[in-house]
A = this chain, B = another copy of it.
Amino acid sequence: MSSIIGNHLKVSIFGQSHAPGIGCVIDGLPSGEPINMTELEAFLARRAPGKDPLSTARKEADKPEFVSGILDGHTCGAPVCAIIYNTDQHSKDYSEIADKPRPGHADYTAHIKYGGAQDVRGGGHFSGRLTAPICIAGGIAQQILARRGIRVGAHIYAVNGVYDDAFDPCDIPVSVFDAVAQKKFPVLNDEKGAEMQARILAAKAELDSVGGIIECAVTGLPVGIGDPMFDGMENRLARILFGVPAVKGVEFGDGFAAAAKRGSENNDAMEYAPDGSVRMKTNHAGGILGGITTGMPLWFRCALKPTPSIAREQETVSLSKGKNAILAIHGRHDPCIVQRAVPVIIAAAAIGILDAVLDTERNF
């Protein structure tokens, strides 16, 4: 499968950082769904770089061209193909990177796997730039979900050890998602956000980078979405989330914290809500039991490692000379990619959620 994900809804991602373009094919979308292009482009703009000192100076319009699948502003049932042509590539010499694999990047592993034929320019198929087509597919999925009352939102939960407030896992009105989506630096607590930004700029000044954690939630899901064992919501979402570069950990609900707790603390008591539906009084389970949605908000967190591209000198090897070497990475890099990754995590979640929704017989 490699760069393809999904059961009912299949998303195929293609492109390299310095190839003519990057894009996606989305096969299995319901037909007749209106796609709001203005909204989609606004969503993509949240990921785009070059906006401030916190991210790379590379300018990318990230405006997708739709080659197929959309007619008169609606999905027509045929696969949707969207392409972003790469325009702002620096035609620099990549021979040093081809020779000296960058620590923390896939340069060395790709070199061995592809026998030297891989595209090293800008990270090739492993570039963070490939998250743009994930956002196209996820942005479309998000619109289709919203029409079914299902909303996806996320915020920066931590940067370099500074923590934001957390979502209330039992009650996340759409206004919370909307408010954080408006922010240039999407945190719930702006004081914490300022502290995070200070950490990012400090790392940048020291030619270094920082990592962070993103918290994401999905509201409006009916009970019964997802399947047992290997197609549970955790499995589906983890499989796609680990496809986002830099993600090294995923936890649902209390996750690793649950491991330190007792059952009596972690079980979510159940009760009837005033409207006659069954609900949980707490939501440690992250809205998922047995892989299946409980009707409570589904929530999870992803750990992103610090950007591996740093301007400091690093120890590596020269593959051509067969001996140890020192590498100094030049060029435009993000001292922190967490703020730009927020829409990517939303997009990845939306793809996984829509796939599970379409897989389920139960109707809306």
Contacts and interface: CB of A to CB of B under 8 A. Distances in A.
A346 interface: no
Contacts of A114: 31-32, 76-77
A328 to B, nearest CB: 13
Contacts of A106: 228, 289-292
Interface string A292-310: 1110000000011111111
A256 B77 contact: no
Contacts of A174: none
A60 interface: no
Interface residues of A, number: 147
Interface string A196-233: 00000001000011111100000000011001111110
A67 interface: yes
A282 B71 CA distance: 33
A143 interface: no
Interface string A87-125: 000000000000001011110111011111111000011
A56 interface: no
Given A4-B12, A229-B3, A267-B310, A117 B251 contact: no
B104 A315 contact: no
